[in-house]
C-alpha cells in the first residue's frame, strides 16, 4: 500500500530529484537573516492591521490608543529579542525552546513547548496564507471573492512542492525577504517625507469612512478588555522570533555571536517596519473594521475593505502603480515564504522529538522519507481545515495563534532564568558572574513581559478561539506521551527478558523451502538454502489443487534433488494455516531447533504488479514472524520489470536551516 | 497499511468467527433448490411488472399484448431451462457458462462470458435491492420516500455481513424461498378461485386509473418496437437460471441428474409464478405506469404507485392484512437473498478465473482472504454507484441488466451445439448418438431463442442503458487479458532464463547482521546467524548519531563477541542507502558469494504499533530484495503485545454452493 501511495504522490508532484551531492553549507549572516527571519518579519504584514481592527469595535475614538499599544508591542518585542540573544549563546545546539524547557524544567514542560510549537506550525501556515490571500485580494478582486479557494490552493501547491522536495537555497529566501523589507521601509520613509516634509495630505481610501460609535457603552472594564485584546492581536508581530534559536548550528562561526547579531538585526528591522506602518496608519487616518459591512456606516455600496498594507501603499504612492504592486506583491510573497517555513521547521522539530522517542523513530533517521511526507500532509491537512473553518479570515485565525507562541516564550525564558541560577551556583569568576547576572536579568525581564502577555492573551482570546489551540496542544501532548510510554514499555520488556532467559544458541537449524512451482525462483531458493548447510533441509508444498500438486511431485522426482518434497494437505485451498501448523509441529518436536523458512519471492518494478504476485508469501511471512524460534528468509528473484527501480534519495525539507545544502561547486565539477 | 484497513473493517463488521470445522456437505435437492434458485425465482417479483410498465407508454390498449408477451417469455424460459439441463450433464464440474464457452469457443469467448457474468453480479445486487426497496416501500411509506437511502443501506449491511463471513446454511435459503413460493402460489390460486369460481370482482387499486393514450401515434414500427422492448424487460425473469450449472459439484450423487431435476423444478415454479402473476394482473386490471405522475391521468393527488406484487396482494387478500404483509415481506426478503447470491457467486467465479490467471492468484488459493474482501467491497461499491445513479429505479436498472445475461446464454448454448458436434464425431453407438442429437436439438433451440432475445435486447435497450453494461464488460475483459498477459510474460521470462543461465551453487555465504542497539532482538539475531555457520559473519551498524554509535561500540567490545562490528558512516542520517552500498560492495568483491542480511525485527500485536517499529527495517528489506544474490532473513522478536494475535480463519462467502459447510454434527461432538 505504501508503494501505491508513493505512486499517487508521484503522480501528483512528479519525480523527486536526487541529492547525491549534499554538503554541509553554513550560512553567512546576510543569508541567515532571510532564511530565519521571513516568518517573524512577515508578521508585520498583519499585526498592525489587527490592532486597528480590534479597536474599531469601540469606534474611531478608541484609535487614540493605537500608538500606545504599538509601543507596548515594540517593548515586548525588544524584551523577547534581547532574551533570545541570551538563549543562542547558552544553547547553541539548535534545540531551541524545546531544549531549554526540557533541560531546565524537565521533560513534561519540554513536551508542553513541543506541543505548542507543533500547533504553531499549523497556524503559521493557516495565518500566513490567509493574510497572503487578503493582500493579493486587495489588487486582484477575483482572489478577494475566492479567498478560501485561493488559500487552500496555495497550501496544496506548497505541500506538493515540499513533498517533491524543493531545493532550498539562500537565494530563494533572500530576494523576496530583502525586497519586502526594502518595499515597506521605502513606503514608510516616502510617506513620512510626503506628510512631514512636503506637507501633503496623504489619506487612506478609508480615511473618510465613519466607524459605528459604540464607544459610549464601552467604558471602564470593557474598554480595558478591548485595549488588551488589541494588544494581544498586535503581539502576533512576535511570532517566529524563536526560529533563529533553532538554527544556530547552521550559522558560520562564531555561531552563537552571528546568530545573536542576526537576531538583533531582525528585531530592529521588524520593530522599525511595525512602528512605521502604525505611524502611516495614523497619519493617513486608515479605518479598518472587523465587520466592514456593519461597522463602516457611510461606506459606498460594495465596498471591499483592503488590507492595511494595500491601503497605505495606495495612499503613499498615489498614482505610481508599479510601487503599489511591488509592495503588495512582495508582502504576499513573504507571507507564502513564512508559511513554507513551517514545512521546513516541522521535520527539524520532528527529528528532535523522534530522537527523544516522543514521535516514531523513523522521523529521526532519514531512512523512511515517507514519514516526512506523512508529516507534511498532516500539517497541510490541518491548515486546510483551519482555513476552511475560519473562512480564511486572518482576524479569526489570529485568536488561535498567539497562545502557543507565548506558551513557548514563557517556558523558554523562565527556563533561562533557572539556567543562569544553575550556572551562578558554580561560577566563581566575578566578571563571568556579572555577565551571567546581566543575562539573567534580561531573561527575567523577558519572562515577566511574556508572562503578562500570555495572561492577557488567555483572558482576552480564550473564548474567541484560543481554547481550540489549547485543546490541540493537549492532544499532541497526549499523543507524544503515549508514544513515549510505548517505547519505554518495549525497552522495559526487553530489559526484563534479559534478566530472565538468556539466549540459548540453537542446537540445530531446520530449514524448510516453500515450493509452489518448480521454476527458477524455487531452484535458487533451494540452492541458497542448501548453501547455508542446515542440519535438516526439506521442501514443502501446500496442496491447493490436486492436479498441480501431482504434476509438481512428478517433476520433482525427475529432477533428482537430494531434498525431499513434503506435500501438506489443505482441503480448503488455504496456504497460511497448513504451513503454520507444520512449522509449529516441527518446533514442538525439537524445541531447541531453530526453523528457517525460505520463501522464493518475485521482485517486481511496478506497484500494481505487487497485487499479482507474492500475496500469499507476504501473508505467510507476516504470520510466521509470530512464531517463536522461526526465521523467515526471502530469496528474491528479480523480474525484468524490477530493473528500472532504484533508491530515490530525495531532498528533505528543512535542509538549509540544518546547515545542509546542495553543494553547487561540487555539482559543477 | 493492509493491517490498518483490516482494523477498519474489523471496527465496521466485528471479529469474524472461526471455521475450524468446515466439512464437505453435499446438498439434497430440497436444499439445493432454494440455495441456487432464490436468484432466478426472485426475478418474477419484477419481471411481470416491467412488461406492464413498458406497455403503459402506449396506453391501456397496448395491455392487450401482455398475455402474448408473457407466453413468449415463458417459452424462452422453457428453452433455456431445457438447454441448461443438457449443460449440467455435459459439464458437471461447476465451471458453468464460462467453462462451456472456453472449451468450445476458445479462451477469448470464455473471457467474454466471464466479463458478462461479473457485470451481472453487480447488477443482480443493484436490481434486486432496488426491487426489494420498491416492494417494502409499498407497505412502509418511509421506505418509499427514502428508496435510495434504504437500498444503499441494505447493500452496506449485506457487504458487512459478507465481509464478516456469514455462516451460510441451507436453512437460511430454504425458509424464505419456500415461503415466497408458497405465498405467491397461494395468492395466484386464491385470486383465481375468487375470480373464476366465486365470481368476485377483484380489482387492483389502480384498476380505475386511466393511462394517457398515446396509442394513436404508436402504430406500425413504433408499436412493434415497444412490444419488443416490453418483451426484453420481461426476459429479466430469466436472470439467474445459469446459477445451478455452476453448482453441480455441490449436489448429492447422481450430481448431474439431481441438478437437472432441480433445474426443472425451478423452471416449473418460476414459470407458474410468472404466468400466475400476469394472469392476476390482467383480471385485476392493474395499471402500472413508467412515469405515474405524468401517465396516470386521473390519479388522486399524492398517488404513490405500489409494486405489482403489492397491488395484487392487496386486491386478492382484501382486508386480510397478515396475508398481504406475508407476501410482500417474503418478496422483499427473497430479493435481498438474491442480492446476497452475487456476494456468494463472486468468489466462486473469481477463484476459477484466478486459476486461469485472469485474476490475481490469491483469489484461487484462499491464502489471502483480504483479496475476497476487496472483491466484495468492489462489488458493493459498484452496486451502490448504480443504485444512486439510477435513483434505485428497477425499470432503469433493468435496461443494463439483461444484456449480460443473454450474452452468456447465447455463448453457452452455441458452445453446447459445438460440444455435441465434437461428441458426435467420435460416438458410434446409435442409441447414444440419438440422445446426443436430441440434446443438440434442445441446445440449438435454446441458442436460437436466446440469440433472438439478445438481438432484441440490444436493439431496444442499447441507448436506454445496455451500452453501460457493454462498456463495463469491455473494461473487465481488458483488465483480465492484461492480468493474463502479465502472468504469461513472467512465465516466459522464467522459461527464457532457464535456458540461459543455470543456477550456480553459491561458493560462500557472507552473513551480515544489522545492529541498531545491543538488545535482545539483536543478540538473538546474532545467535541465529552464527548457528547458520556462514563463511563470513559480521555485524554492521549505521552511524546516524555519533553519541549512540560510540556507546554501542563500547558496549559491543565489552561483550566480547567474536563477531566484528563495522560502523558505516551516514552523514545525512539515512539507513537504507549506506547499507545498500555496503552490500553492493561485498557482492562486487566476491560475485559468487551470496549475502544474507539478518534483520532483527519486533513483532507487535496492534496495527498502530507497526508505525512505531521496524519502519527502517521494512524499507531496507524491500530495497535489499532488488539486489541480486542477496537473501534477507527476518529474525523476529515477539513483544508481549503480539501474543493476542492468532490466524483468523474465516468463512468465505460461497461455501454452501461449493459444497462446503460447517459440519454441525462435528461441531456438536
Residue B648 reports pLDDT greater than 90:
no
For chain B, first and last CA: distance in Å? 40
Residue B51 reports pLDDT greater than 90:
yes
Cβ-based contacts of B646 with chain A (< 8 Å): 626
For residue B44, the model assigns a pLDDT of 92
A117: Cβ–Cβ under 8 A, 6 or more apart, which residues? A97, A98, A349, A404, A408
CA distances from A100 to A77, A104, A112, A249, A427 (A): 20, 6, 12, 16, 20
- In chain B, what's the furthest Cα-to-Cα distance? 106
Nearest to B528 among A494, A506, A573 (CB): A506
- Subunit contact B505:A530, Cβ cutoff 8 A: yes
CA distances from A448 to A78, A117, A523, A580 (A): 13, 20, 75, 66
Specify the higher pLDDT residue, A98 or B374: A98
> Is residue A494 within 8 angstroms of chain B, CB to CB?
yes
Residue in B with minimal Cα distance to A491: B519
**ipTM for the complex shown:** 0.72
pLDDT tens readout for residues A163-219: 776 556 667 778 899 999 999 999 999 999 999 988 888 888 888 888 877 655 666
Nearest to B181 by CA among B337, B30, B327: B327
> Is residue A594 within 8 angstroms of chain B, CB to CB?
yes
What is the rounded average pLDDT of the residues A96-112?
92
Angle in degrees, 0-180, between the axes of helices B2-13 and B147-164, rounded to the nearest 10 = 110
Q: Mind listing the domains of chain B with CATH numbers? A: 2-488 (1.20.1740.10), 509-644 (3.40.50.620)
Residues A352 and A95 sit within 8 Å (Cβ to Cβ): yes
- Cα–Cα distance measured from residue B493 to residue A533, given in angstroms and rounded to the nearest whole number: 30
Residue in B with minimal Cα distance to A643: B626
Size of interface A-B (CB pairs under 8 A): 223
Cβ-based contacts of A576 with chain B (< 8 Å): 367, 647
Specify the higher pLDDT residue, B486 or B373: B486
Residues of chain A numbered 70-129 and touching chain B (CB < 8 Å): none
What is the rounded average pLDDT of the residues B32-46?
88
Residue in A with minimal Cα distance to B544: A365
Residues of chain A numbered 539-568 and touching chain B (CB < 8 Å): 542, 544-545
User: Which phi and psi (to 5°) does residue B287 adopt?
Assistant: -115, 125
Query: What is the total residue count of chain A?
Result: 669
CA distances from A62 to A55, A164, B634 (A): 6, 49, 71
Q: Label residue A315 exposed, middle or buried (CB < 10 Å: 0-12, 13-18, 19+).
A: buried
pLDDT tens readout for residues A41-80: 999 999 999 999 988 888 878 888 999 999 999 999 999 9
Q: Which residues of B44-72 are buried (b: 16+ CB within 10 A; e: fewer)?
A: bbbbbbbbbbbbbbbbbebbebbeebbeb
- Cα–Cα distance measured from residue B241 to residue A417, given in angstroms and rounded to the nearest whole number: 85
Residue B349 reports pLDDT greater than 60:
yes
pLDDT tens readout for residues B277-293: 999 999 999 988 888 88
Interstrand relation of A660-662 and A22-24 (parallel, antiparallel or unpaired): antiparallel
pLDDT tens readout for residues B572-588: 677 888 899 999 999 89
pLDDT tens readout for residues A522-531: 888 998 888 8
Residues B73 and B40 sit within 8 Å (Cβ to Cβ): no
SS3 assignment, position A530:
helix
> Is residue A575 within 8 angstroms of chain B, CB to CB?
yes
Instruction: Look up the pTM and report it.
Output: 0.71
Nearest to A519 among B494, B504, B638 (CB): B494
B602: Cβ–Cβ under 8 A, 6 or more apart, which residues? A490, B521, B613, B614, B636, B637, B639
Residues B575 and A365 sit within 8 Å (Cβ to Cβ): yes
Which residues lie across from B27 on neighbouring strands?
A: B251
Give me the half-sphere count of Cα atoms (radius 13 Å) on the Cβ side of residue B297. 10
- Cα–Cα distance measured from residue A174 to residue B53, given in angstroms and rounded to the nearest whole number: 74
Distance from CA of B611 to the nearest CA of A (A): 7
In chain B, the percentage of residues whose pLDDT exceeds 90 is 41
Lowest mean pLDDT, pick from B111-125, B393-407, B556-570: B556-570
CA angle at residue B656 from B654 to B658, to 5 degrees? 70
DSSP A71-105: HHHHHHHHHHHHHHHHHHHH-TTS-HHHHHHHHHH
Residues B544 and B567 sit within 8 Å (Cβ to Cβ): no
pLDDT tens readout for residues A213-243: 765 566 677 888 888 989 999 999 988 888 8
Residue A15 reports pLDDT greater than 50:
no
Q: Per DSSP, which regions of B435-528 are E strands?
A: 509-514
pLDDT tens readout for residues B151-176: 999 999 988 887 776 556 667 778 89
Residue B20 reports pLDDT greater than 50:
no
Radius of gyration of chain B (CA): 32
What is the rounded average pLDDT of the residues A583-608?
86
For residue A18, the model assigns a pLDDT of 38
Residue A276 reports pLDDT greater than 90:
yes
What is the rounded average pLDDT of the residues B496-500?
55
Residues B181 and B276 sit within 8 Å (Cβ to Cβ): no
Residues B239 and B405 sit within 8 Å (Cβ to Cβ): yes
CA angle at residue B476 from B473 to B477, to 5 degrees? 85
For residue B421, the model assigns a pLDDT of 93
- Cα–Cα distance measured from residue A267 to residue A237, given in angstroms and rounded to the nearest whole number: 11
Q: Per DSSP, which regions of A224-379 are E strands?
A: none
Average pLDDT score, chain A: 84
Residue in B with minimal Cα distance to A611: B360
Nearest to B629 by CA among A604, A524, A225: A524
Element at A346 (helix H, strand E): helix A321-355
Lowest mean pLDDT, pick from A126-130, A428-432, B1-5, B86-90: B1-5
User: Which phi and psi (to 5°) does residue A538 adopt?
Assistant: -145, 155
A268: Cβ–Cβ under 8 A, 6 or more apart, which residues? none
Residue A664 reports pLDDT greater than 70:
no
Residue A499 reports pLDDT greater than 80:
no
For residue A24, the model assigns a pLDDT of 53
Amino acid at each position: 500500500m505504501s508503494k501505491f501511495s508513493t505512486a499517487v504522490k508521484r503522480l501528483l508532484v512528479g519525480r523527486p530529484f536526487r541529492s547525491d551531492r549534499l554538503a554541509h553549507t553554513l550560512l553567512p549572516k546576510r543569508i541567515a537573516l532571510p532564511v530565519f527571519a521571513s516568518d517573524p518579519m512577515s508578521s508585520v504584514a498583519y499585526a498592525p492591521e489587527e490592532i486597528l481592527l480590534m479597536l474599531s469595535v469601540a469606534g474611531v475614538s478608541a484609535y487614540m490608543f493605537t500608538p500606545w499599544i504599538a509601543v507596548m508591542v515594540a517593548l515586548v518585542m525588544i524584551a523577547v529579542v534581547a532574551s533570545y540573544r541570551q538563549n543562542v549563546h547558552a544553547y547553541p545546539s539548535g534545540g531551541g525552546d524545546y531544549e531549554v524547557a526540557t533541560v531546565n524544567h524537565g521533560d513534561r514542560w519540554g513536551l508542553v513547548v513541543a506541543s505548542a510549537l507543533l500547533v504553531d506550525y499549523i497556524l503559521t501556515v493557516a495565518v500566513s496564507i490567509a493574510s497572503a490571500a487578503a493582500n493579493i485580494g486587495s489588487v486582484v478582486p477575483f482572489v478577494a471573492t475566492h479567498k478560501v479557494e485561493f488559500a487552500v490552493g496555495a497550501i496544496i501547491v506548497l505541500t506538493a512542492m515540499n513533498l517533491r522536495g524543493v531545493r532550498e537555497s539562500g537565494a530563494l529566501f533572500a530576494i523576496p525577504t530583502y525586497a519586502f523589507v526594502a518595499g515597506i521601509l521605502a513606503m514608510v520613509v516616502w510617506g513620512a517625507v510626503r506628510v512631514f516634509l512636503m506637507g501633503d495630505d496623504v489619506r487612506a481610501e478609508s480615511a473618510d469612512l465613519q466607524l459605528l460609535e459604540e464607544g459610549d457603552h464601552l467604558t471602564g472594564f470593557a474598554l480595558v478588555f478591548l485595549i488588551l485584546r488589541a494588544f494581544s492581536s498586535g503581539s502576533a508581530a512576535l511570532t517566529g522570533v524563536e526560529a533563529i534559536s533553532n538554527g544556530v548550528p547552521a550559522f558560520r562561526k562564531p555561531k552563537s555571536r552571528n546568530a545573536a547579531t542576526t537576531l538583533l538585526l531582525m528585531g530592529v528591522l521588524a520593530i522599525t517596519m511595525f512602528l512605521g506602518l502604525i505611524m502611516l496608519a495614523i497619519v493617513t487616518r486608515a479605518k479598518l473594521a472587523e465587520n466592514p459591512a456593519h461597522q463602516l456606516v457611510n461606506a459606498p455600496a460594495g465596498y471591499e475593505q483592503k488590507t492595511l498594507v494595500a491601503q497605505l501603499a495606495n495612499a503613499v504612492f498615489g498614482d505610481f502603480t508599479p510601487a503599489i504592486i511591488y509592495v503588495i506583491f512582495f508582502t504576499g510573497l513573504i507571507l507564502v515564504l513564512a508559511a513554507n517555513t513551517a514545512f521546513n521547521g516541522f521535520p527539524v522539530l520532528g527529528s528532535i522529538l523522534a530522537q527523544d522517542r516522543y514521535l516514531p523513530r523513523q522521523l529521526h533517521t532519514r531512512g523512511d522519507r515517507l514519514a516526512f511526507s506523512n508529516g507534511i500532509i498532516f500539517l497541510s491537512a490541518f491548515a486546510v481545515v483551519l482555513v476552511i473553518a475560519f473562512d480564511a479570515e486572518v482576524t479569526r485565525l489570529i485568536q488561535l495563534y498567539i497562545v502557543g507562541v507565548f506558551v513557548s516564550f514563557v517556558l523558554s525564558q523562565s527556563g533561562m532564568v533557572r539556567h543562569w541560577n544553575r550556572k551562578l551556583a558554580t561560577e566563581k569568576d566575578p566578571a563571568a558572574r556579572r555577565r551571567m547576572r546581566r543575562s539573567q536579568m534580561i531573561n527575567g525581564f523577558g519572562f515577566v513581559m511574556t508572562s503578562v502577555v500570555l495572561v492577557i492573551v488567555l483572558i482576552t482570546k480564550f473564548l474567541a478561539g484560543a481554547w481550540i489551540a489549547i485543546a490541540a496542544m493537549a492532544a499532541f501532548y497526549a499523543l507524544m506521551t503515549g508514544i513515549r510510554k510505548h517505547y519505554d514499555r518495549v525497552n522495559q520488556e526487553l530489559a526484563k527478558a534479559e534478566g530472565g532467559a538468556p539466549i540459548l544458541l540453537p542446537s540445530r537449524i531446520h530449514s524448510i523451502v516453500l515450493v509452489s512451482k518448480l521454476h527458477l525462483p524455487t531452484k535458487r531458493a533451494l540452492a541458497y538454502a542448501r548453501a547455508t548447510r542446515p542440519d535438516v533441509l526439506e521442501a514443502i508444498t501446500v496442496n491447493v489443487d490436486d492436479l498441480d500438486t501431482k504434476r509438481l511431485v512428478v517433476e520433482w522426482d525427475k529432477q533428482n534433488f537430494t531434498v525431499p518434497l513434503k506435500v501438506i494437505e489443505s482441503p480448503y485451498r488455504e496456504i497460511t494455516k497448513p504451513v503454520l501448523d507444520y512449522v509449529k509441529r516441527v518446533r514442538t518436536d525439537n524445541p531447541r531447533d531453530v526453523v528457517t523458512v525460505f520463501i522464493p519471492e518475485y521482485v517486481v518494478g511496478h506497484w500494481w504488479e505487487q497485487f499479482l504476485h507474492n500475496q500469499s508469501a507476504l501473508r505467510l511471512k507476516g504470520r510466521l514472524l509470530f512464531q517463536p524460534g522461526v526465521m523467515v528468509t526471502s530469496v528474491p528473484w528479480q523480474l525484468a520489470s524490477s530493473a528500472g527501480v532504484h533508491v530515490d534519495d530525495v531532498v528533505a525539507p528543512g535542509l538549509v536551516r540544518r546547515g545542509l545544502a546542495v553543494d553547487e561547486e561540487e555539482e559543477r565539477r
